[in-house]
Chains A and B, each alone.
Chain A
């Protein structure tokens, strides 16, 4: 076997951590189960070390394994770093939330780490089989995590809806993949790209591409394949919802990036319009529905659907042009948006977890006057929600800026129309994000609540650390965006290479 153990080191460390957590869960007495969380945090920290050595010492050459099906290049490294950082934040957020509940802790961290391992595999996958295995490793444990509160009917329902729609999307995706293989005779992206160039007029090839896109449409909760998301997001434990809206979604976008730019560059006239429609629908419907929500978790669910639409926008720009620089800029815009979105959305969810614990409700009205009893939390809430809205100097503005730059570059009437739709939606989104800020800062305290009773309980250290990391990233990336963008451009160059 031609395995490169240095390149595989992050996956190996995470896999070893998973086994360790499994062993600890069996060995530890019930009140010491929190050690499993500690092991998970340490394991993820160690997994980040080989990423740094690979990035510094690897040079520009990609490390390729398994017949080109598993590649560790700049694109894979950047995204693995994001997945590990995102998983790290979710672990930190989970600690106090899970401990305060009466369900099992060990399994929780085991399943979460397994899902993170799946996303690491997604970032490196360069053939259909590895993409499929990675994607299933991401979503399989999440079905169980969504239903983690076994005695709660809402959590069960969330889990079942997610499961049924999840396996349906897997079946559709696989059927598309089996067609791709049947038509091209290859499972690798390179093989599909080479053979696909000769299949431009084949109806079956177009159908296969569409099936694959639909399969990923479910995973990234693009409208009209989004209907499971709000129910699942609301019913699942909140840290799991945070992971669903960031980790599993980002894994879906990684798969979509790889397939569109590496496997299907010859059929841009199929996926271009399809993703144009998905982007426009996701932004518009996601935002309009988010406007009407009273529950903050449900609002964030619809807002994440809308944000998914913004992330899809640059694909439409890449599809209408042959200029490699424009395509590279579009891929870079998607990667930048995914990364910034990951941090700001996780931060927003950390605020929601802490806010719900303080106030005992996730209804937005119940958070009125929060600045009086939790001023720091109200400041953090404002930072993350305004970052999601795209207000400078918070990171969200650069994500939207890069997205608009990419979509306006080709100068095609269709992409211009999508830019207008995106601009209108950015304004609509500001309304509901700002509403949360207004409730926390300007509205009077709800009846019967005194300042004193809500100040008594301090925040857990792990959650404070998660909030700290996200807020530092959101502010740094917003103030110094072009330094970060240089890193992402390298990753985009890799994914669009050879178009």
Chain B
């Protein structure tokens, strides 16, 4: 039976949903800024997979265009995010968000 199965867009959608949930869990549960950051990248890649699978299913170019833009924006966000983390690390010598408690109330 397995040999007869055809990989449809649904398979990719499911994989993307799983990736998105893993990324979300990582973001909410881990407290190292770098790991949280990786989790976000995982979520964005889940988005890309959904877009590409849907574009293939529809035979439409729009989804693939969207992926290119998401990739570029994600790369820009990496630069911004790492800059912020480096800046924090210089002062605190740690990348853990648990110690961030200057502001509250």
Contacts and interface: CB of A to CB of B under 8 A. Distances in A.
Contacts of B37: 164, 167
Given A175-B43, A178-B47, A167 B81 contact: yes
A174 interface: yes
A171 B23 contact: yes
Interface stretch (A91-99, A146-154, A349-357): A146-154
Contact of A163 (B57, B65, B80, B102): B80
Interface string B40-76: 1001101100110111011010110110011001001
A156 B88 CA distance: 6
B77 A167 contact: yes
Interface residues on A, range: 35 or more
Contacts of B40: 164, 167-168, 171
Interface stretch (A182-190, A370-378, A379-387, A446-454): A182-190
A161 B100 contact: yes
A235 B103 contact: yes
Given A171-B40, A178-B51, A185 B84 contact: no
Nearest to A178: B50
A133 interface: yes
A230 B105 CA distance: 8
Interface stretch (A136-144, A277-285, A402-410): A136-144
A441 interface: no
Contacts of B84: 143-144, 147, 156, 159-160, 163
A245 B78 CA distance: 25
A233 to B, nearest CB: 9
B91 interface: yes
B66 A187 contact: yes
B87 to A, nearest CB: 5
Interface in A61-98: none
Nearest to A179: B50
Contacts of B20: 171, 175
A160 B46 contact: no
Interface string B12-55: 01001000100100010000010011001001101100110111
Given A156-B84, A163-B84, A182 B105 contact: no
Contact of B57 (A133, A164, A172, A182): A182
Contact of A144 (B9, B58, B83): B83
A144 B65 contact: no
Contacts of A231: 103-104
A159 B85 CA distance: 9
Q: Which 5 A-B pairs have the closest CB atoms?
A: A182-B54, A178-B50, A171-B43, A185-B58, A231-B103
7 contacts: A151-B91, A153-B91, A153-B92, A159-B87, A167-B81, A175-B47, A230-B103
